[in-house]
Amino acid sequence: MFRLLFLFSLILFTSLSFPQQEKNLRAGGYARLSALGNNPYVLDVDNLKTNPAFADEFNNMIWGDIGSSIPDNPSTGSGQFAGFNFKLNKQISVGGFLTRKDFLTSSIGALDLDGLTSLVNSVPGADIIPLDNNLELFASLNMDNIILGLGVAYASTKNETTPASGTGNKNNASQIGINAGLILKLNSSNTIDAGVTLIIPSASYEPAAGLKTTASQTVLWANARMFMAINQKLSLVPTIKFLTVSGKTESAGNSSDMNSYNFIDIGLGINYRVGDLLLAGGPSLLVFSETNPAVLSISPELKNSYLAFPGWNLGAEFYLTDWLIGRLGYVAETISVSEETRATPTTKNVQDITSYYPGDVRLGLGLRFGGFALDATVNDDVLRQGLNLIGSGTPTFGYISASYAF
């Protein structure tokens, strides 16, 4: 409670002390989008993670995530990363990210999404060091009506022993990622942005005496969106996202396919801005499928599918003062699931389920002081508990993003 009193005192003091200033639009991040209901229908610097062409739109920034607390180690935030982006001249912008293994966005900054190192480390004697500290570099090229972007990322680990005589164990992991994007300005009010991402992680264990074990995957991710102006305040925003994942393992001279995944998400939302109020959101259709390959004499091919319709991502953002922003969001899904399980080596059981992802209300705040921005999701228990917060130790904020534009 004392933290809230301090925050409100700071708000009151600064609202009386700071003159009106131009709004800083080069800000935001994961905390902002999460507070707006994981909203895909708004422009945000977070879009740069999957489309490097946005380096031109959000230039001359230092930004990243302070993340959220980890219960077992609250001094180390989950999801932290650091990024920068500089405009070299009118046409070219460059930047980079340094991300950790708990990076929250499906992009080339994310590491070993399907846990290949853990899979190979299940082999007796294997000791692969998990990937971490991924370095991504990107650049954009502005050619007036079209902006192109390209990004690359690489991370690797090595754990090899070299005894005085003979050959030691070799444990290696690596991941390379490439993404490309564009922003096409059809006119002053209509734009298309699209990005494609390719990620190739791998892990291997080669014992001093024995056969090598390897695992590798190919991850292909694509997304596109269009802002179609209906009038000066309202835009219609169709979106589409697609993901496919495949891989294989090799051990003792035998090769086998890993589980494969396919995902498609189609949405149709609005982006409505009037003055200092932004309303964005709409329904979506999400289809996800997983295929477990057949194992001879053990199990038939098994497929699981997941359908979410309608899925809702709704958000509202409004300036309480020139430097303080309030946010509300809502997320909900109706879900249909079909699961296949092994009955015999050649037959399978099928279970169909219809259920719901219950509505989740999101709250958030944004602070703007000149070029500095701090965005955070707010723990809704702060409102529910009221005076009970005194001495209770309830966290005020959930996830925090920060940036400085210059």
The C-alpha atoms of residue 53 and residue 62 are separated, in whole angstroms, by 17
pLDDT tens for each residue of 274-298: 999 999 999 999 999 999 888 888 8
Residue 382 is predicted with a pLDDT of 64
pLDDT tens for each residue of 73-104: 445 668 889 999 999 999 999 999 999 888 87
Of 273, 268, 267, the C-alpha closest to 234 is 273
Residue 149 is predicted with a pLDDT of 97
- Give the domains, in start order, of the chain with CATH numbers: 24-405 (2.40.160)
Residue 384 is predicted with a pLDDT of 62
Q: Which two tokens stand for residue 328?
A: 């509300």
Q: Which two tokens stand for residue 305?
A: 């599918």
Q: pTM of the entire structure?
A: 0.85
The C-alpha atoms of residue 303 and residue 293 are separated, in whole angstroms, by 9
Q: What is the pLDDT along the chain (406 residues), one digit of tens a residue?
A: 334 334 444 443 444 344 445 577 789 999 999 999 999 999 999 999 999 999 999 999 999 998 886 554 445 668 889 999 999 999 999 999 999 888 877 789 889 888 899 999 999 989 999 999 999 999 999 998 999 999 999 999 999 988 877 778 899 999 999 999 999 999 988 999 999 999 999 999 999 888 899 999 999 999 999 999 999 999 999 999 999 999 999 987 788 899 999 999 999 999 999 999 999 999 999 999 999 888 888 888 899 999 999 999 999 999 999 899 999 999 999 999 988 888 888 888 888 888 877 788 999 999 999 899 999 998 776 666 655 555 555 667 788 999 999 9
Pairing label, strands 170-185, 397-405: unpaired
Residue 176 is predicted with a pLDDT of 96
Residue 2 is predicted with a pLDDT of 39
The HSE-up count of residue 64 (CA atoms within 13 Å, CB side) is 19
The C-alpha atoms of residue 105 and residue 197 are separated, in whole angstroms, by 12
Do residues 98 and 109 touch, judged by C-beta distance below 8 A? Answer: no
The C-alpha atoms of residue 175 and residue 99 are separated, in whole angstroms, by 13
Residue 15 is predicted with a pLDDT of 40
Per-position DSSP letters for 193-247, written without gaps between them: EEEEEEEEEEEEEE-SSS--EEEEEEEEEEEEEEEEESSSSEEEEEEEEEEEEEE
The C-alpha atoms of residue 378 and residue 324 are separated, in whole angstroms, by 14
